[in-house]
Amino acid sequence: MAAVNKPLERLVVIGLGLIGGSFAKGMREAGLFREVVGVDLDAESCRLAVELGVVDRCESDLAAACVGASVIQLAVPILAMEKLVVSLGRLPLGEAVLTDVGSAKGNILRAARRELQQQLPRFVPGHPIAGSEQSGVEAARATCSVAIR
């Protein structure tokens, strides 16, 4: 993939497993963002993501990671998605576009309608098109993709 002429400012990927890591790596390699920031509860995943070039840096603080974000991708397990949406709804996200890679949409859409009042017009549900027998950020591949609905 060739780099774009004018990259967006910052991509924030929350959840650095196979899908989130693959998306981050692909966007970083394509040069679509000036900076790719990862957020993950697992410090080892964050360390590996930086070491492997999946992200430019990681943040442990969600609010700090999202400052100046152009796009925020929610790549956490489905059962954690609603809580994450509640947290994001309390942050000043500016004009950031939010998307998710959850395979089920009912709970995430209800949570988005309830919690993302200012950001709701910029919430774009997605669906992962990725997978292998491997897991974790160390299995991330830049060629995996996400379908936008």
CATH tag for 8-148 (out of 2.60.40.10, 3.55.40.10, 3.40.50.720, 1.10.357.10): 3.40.50.720
pLDDT confidence of residue 118 = 84
Kindly report the pTM of this predicted structure. Answer: 0.84
pLDDT confidence of residue 5 = 72
Q: Largest alpha-carbon pair distance within the chain? A: 39
Distance from chain centroid for Cα 119: 16
pLDDT confidence of residue 136 = 61
| 61: alpha, beta or left? (left if phi > 0; alpha if psi -120 to 50) | beta
pLDDT confidence of residue 148 = 43
pLDDT confidence of residue 104 = 85
Helix (H) or strand (E) holding 146: strand 145-148
* Among 95, 128, 116, 91, CA closest to 17: 128
pLDDT tens for residues 72-113?
999 999 999 999 999 999 999 999 999 999 888 888 999 999
Which stretches of the chain score pLDDT less than 70? 1-4, 129-149
